[in-house]
Structure 1
Amino acid sequence: MNFSSLQEWLVSLGVPSKVFAYNTWVYQVFMVVFLTLLVSYTVGLVFNRLGRLAERSNNPWDDVFLESARKPLKILIWLLGISWAARITHTASNAEIFEFIDPVRRVGVIVLITWFLFGLAKRFELALQSPDRVKEPLDATTASAIGKLLRASIIITAALVILQNLGFSISGVLAFGGVGGIAVGFAAKDLLANFFGGLTVYMDRPFVVGDWVRSPDKNIEGTVEHIGWRLTRIRTFDKRPLYVPNATFSTISLENPSRMTHRRIQETVGVRYEDLQQVRSIVDSVKRMLIEHDEIDDNQTLIVNLNQFADSSVNLMVYTFTKTTIWVKYHEVKQDVLLKIAEIIEQHGAEIAFPTTTLHVASLPEQFAQAGVQPVQQP
């Protein structure tokens, strides 16, 4: 649309033609800016109306589209309006800067479309994790991988289109990338190793965001907070962030305690040698208590047996599994089990042993004998 077409349209709406008698470029620019402002304001009202309708609809994706398009569309209107006004100004000025109007407009449109698609991909990633939007939400790790692949594809495509619009040959760029890729590969082998390590983590899924992981090979233990293409951020239990290059996970053994099904209780309880006759009944009572305990899974291995004749105690081994895997609740269950074992030992008239030493003296110094102290006679 040029200014003459705009003038004819306004006249058809009833605007007197004499208003346009002074058809100067300043007047034209003013009218273009005013029209741009009017269109921008109208589009804002339309988006507000559509937003209210989207909130009441059952379609979970319409508000995602509207939120992504709102700002890019408004800026697009102003970009087109300003470029139109600049072209009008170019008719009254031969400044070289106006020769860049069309390239800037084309690049600006591509950037705004990229912004829209980029925001749409990010909101799409969040929507995939929301049970309110999808019936079977994805976990954060899978959704993040999909979102990153989409955004990377959008950025690469946008960059190639911008280069083409600026006059560069895409085939030449791709050919240079093929030849230069070998040199870049050698120079950035660690970066590529981390990239493919991150890709392996996304595909094999040894852990996801929120999992507790640890490695017996490295001093790595904590909760996974973020999985990137180069680094994985782990929050240690003393609340310090630990950044691990993704290539590391290809060379170490990794344990994922978050995926355990049960937690194990393995304790040794010692009773006195004087209570050896009560050991069998104590073992039976402890085993019965564990079977009847609400938080103990008796379908798993459950062992209560006399296990060792120690220096100062008869040791019983208690081996069982809790139903819970939650760390805090596990310790509460373990405490309850140990206290009940202590009660059972007491109920049988026995006592929990502690390290003791008995000293037999064959003869005493004369001063002790004069005091009436007699040595213990060995049988």
Structure 2
Amino acid sequence: MIAELLNVLNGWIERFGLLSDGWRAGVLVFLLVLGTATVAYMVSHLVAALEKKFAATSNIWDDAILHASRRPLVAFVWLQGIYWAAEVAHHFSEAEIFKANGTLLQIGFVWVVVWVFLGLIKQLEKILTSPIKMRKPMDYTTVNAISKLSRAVVIITAVLTALQTLGFSISGVLAFGGVGGIAVGFAAKDLLANFFGGFIIHLDRPFKVGDWVRSPDRNIEGTVEHIGWRLTTIRTFDKRPLYVPNAAFTSIAVENPSRMTNRRISETIGIRYADVHSMRTIVDEIRDMLSNHEEIDAKQTLIVNFLAFNASSLDIMVYTFTKTTQWVRFHEVKEDVLLKISDIIENHGAEVAFPTRTLHLPDGVRVDDPAPPGSEQPAAKAAAGQSSSRSGKPASRDQGRGYGDANSESGDGE
């Protein structure tokens, strides 16, 4: 068909007898290039108009197909037009370069098809992960892994097709790849370990992009930014990028705090021994306060109990869970809970215990007021020493956070 069209146009121009073969070839090539540019312009605007029209519909897949096909269609028009122009040049010239027109056209067609599929995969990836276009968007990490595998399949298939078009034997290429793969496997075992480690991450999904992860086995903690086939990029909390080989995740334990359902408040609060009579009421009111707190998840474990007689305080255990898992909001809730517990303790005339020291002295020992600066009272010191030696009871000290202030010092042996 092309040859017949060329003969008709060439015969029509040749009737005039004004142009040589070179000029006739130039005119025909110019007309073909001009026609190709016109058709490409029309196709581009036609697809753009269809995109605007289909954008108003509820179907989102036609938008993806049109957007992925727009540039490849224009490229295909240009590819076909250049092929025709090369055929015209080959008709007037016997140059060896024009004998490869058919092969180049086939390779160009494979390239256009690959372009369409890669663009379609990219558009589908955006649609499936978009909360605007999908009611239940898919996980980005999973979609990204599937899109990477799909791109790899398309590219490998295109390369094998192109090699077959160029005259290479695919069976020979595959055999060479099998033998060479063994050598490459031994030489690049770490690279393959990272590749399969990335595959396991995409398969098991212990974490995804945006998750906060940490490892008790390694000094790894931060937010996942990217999961590649060789490295996983983690942004630490001091804003430094941390690049972890994927093979490391197959041999270490990884904790994913982003998937926690609640955050825990676990505190031990001590009150004075002098407030033991208010202990039961304080514990009951703290428990009621937590049960009715709007930010505390009452469905989770909630424990408020008198825990122990500590060395210097009466300890109360507070163990509960918040509804929020956000770090900043959790500390706001925890602050509110601790302040309300403090108010409950204060409302009963009790106090939170603090480190104090009680000094016990033997019977009959009197502590005088401190002497003014610069003066000494050796007589008082001697009397205190004699009294201590007569009683046979050395002065003792013990820690006491809950016995009160300095007024608790006494000489009655308590």
- Say whether the fold is shared (TM-score over 0.5): yes
Counterpart of 2:111 in structure 1 is 111
Change (3 A) 1:115 1:61: same
Shift of 1:312: 2.7
Which residue does 2:398 correspond to in 1? none
Unaligned runs of 5+ in 1: none
Over 3 Å counting, the alpha-carbon distance change for 1:112 and 1:368 in structure 2 is farther
Match of 1:195 in 2: 195
Once residues 322 and 75 of structure 1 are traced to their aligned partners in structure 2, the CA distance between those partners, rounded to angstroms, is 58
Answering whether residue 401 of structure 2 is matched by residue 367 of structure 1, we say no
What is the rounded CA distance, in whole Å, between the counterparts of 1:97 and 1:298 in structure 2? 81
Match of 2:120, as an amino acid?
A: L
Partners in 2 of 1:27 and 1:252 — Cα distance?
71
Q: Distance in 2 between the 1:165 and 1:112 partners?
A: 15
Equivalence for 2:297: 297
2:39 alignment counterpart: 39
State the 1:300 CA deviation. 1.7
**Correspondence for 1:322:** 322
2:411 corresponds to which residue?
377
CA–CA separation in structure 2 for the residues paired with 1:90 and 1:21? 22
CA distance in 2, matches of 1:59, 1:233: 36
> Secondary structure at the residue paired with 2:52?
helix
The equivalent of 1:284 in structure 2 is 284
Change (3 A) 1:368 1:123: farther
Q: Which stretch shifts more, 282-291 or 73-82?
A: 73-82
Q: Secondary structure at the match of 1:91?
A: helix
What is the distance in 2 between the residues matched to 1:175 and 1:93?
41
Q: Is the 8 A contact 1:126 1:143 kept in 2?
A: no
Match of 2:391 in 1: none
How far the C-alpha of 1:223 sits from its partner, in A, is 1.7
How many angstroms apart in 2 are the aligned matches of 1:340 and 1:7?
97
Alignment of 1:52-71 (within 5 A): 52-71=52-71
Q: Report the alpha carbon displacement of residue 38 of structure 1 after superposing the two structures with TM.
A: 1.4
Contact 1:278–1:348 under 8 Å retained in 2:
yes
Query: What are the residue-to-residue correspondences of 1:175-254 with 2, within 5 Å?
Result: 175-254=175-254
Contact persistence 2:44–2:71 (CA under 8 A): no
Give the Cα–Cα distance (whole angstroms) in 2 for the partners of residues 329 and 135 of structure 1: 28
Does structure 1 conserve the Cα–Cα contact (< 8 Å) formed by 2:6 and 2:88?
Answer: no
1:267 maps to 2:301: no
Aligned mates of 1:199, 1:317 — CA distance in 2: 45
Letter in 1 for 2:165: N
Secondary structure of the corresponding residue to residue 307 of structure 2: strand
Structure 1 residues 351 and 26, CA, compared in 2 at 3 Å: closer, same or farther?
A: same
Q: CA RMSD in A?
A: 2.9
Kindly indicate whether the alpha-carbon contact (under 8 Å) linking 1:194 and 1:230 is maintained by their aligned counterparts in 2: yes
Distance in 2 separating the partners of 1:337 and 1:255: 28
Q: 1:92 to 1:247 in 2, by over 3 A?
A: same
1:20: Cα distance to partner? Answer: 9.8
State how far apart, in whole Å, the 1-side matches of 2:265 and 2:6 are.
83
Evaluate the alpha carbon distance shift between residue 211 and residue 315 of structure 1 in structure 2; reply closer, same or farther with a 3 A threshold: same
- Give the TM-score, by structure 2 length: 0.83
2:243 is paired with a residue whose SS is: strand
User: Is the contact made by 2:210 and 2:223 (CA closer than 8 Å) also made in structure 1?
Assistant: yes
Shift of 1:136: 3.6
**Deviation string, structure 1 residues 168-204 (Cα, Å, up to 9, x no partner):** 1000001111112211111111111112111211221
Give the Cα separation in 2 of the matches to 1:165 and 1:7.
Answer: 29
1:131 CA drift (Å):
4.2
**Displacement of 1:17 after TM fit?**
10
TM-score by length of 1: 0.90
337-346 or 139-148, which deviates more: 139-148
Q: Write the distance in 2 (CA, Å) between the matches of 1:236 and 1:263.
A: 21
> What CA deviation, in whole Å up to 9, does each residue of 1:263-306 have, x standing for no partner?
11001111122212211211111111111111112222111122
- Structure 1 equivalent of residue 407 of structure 2: none
Please, which runs of 5 or more residues in structure 2 have no aligned partner?
385-409
Count residues with an aligned counterpart. 376
Instruction: Say if 1:3 and 1:28, in contact at 8 Å, map to a contact too.
Output: no
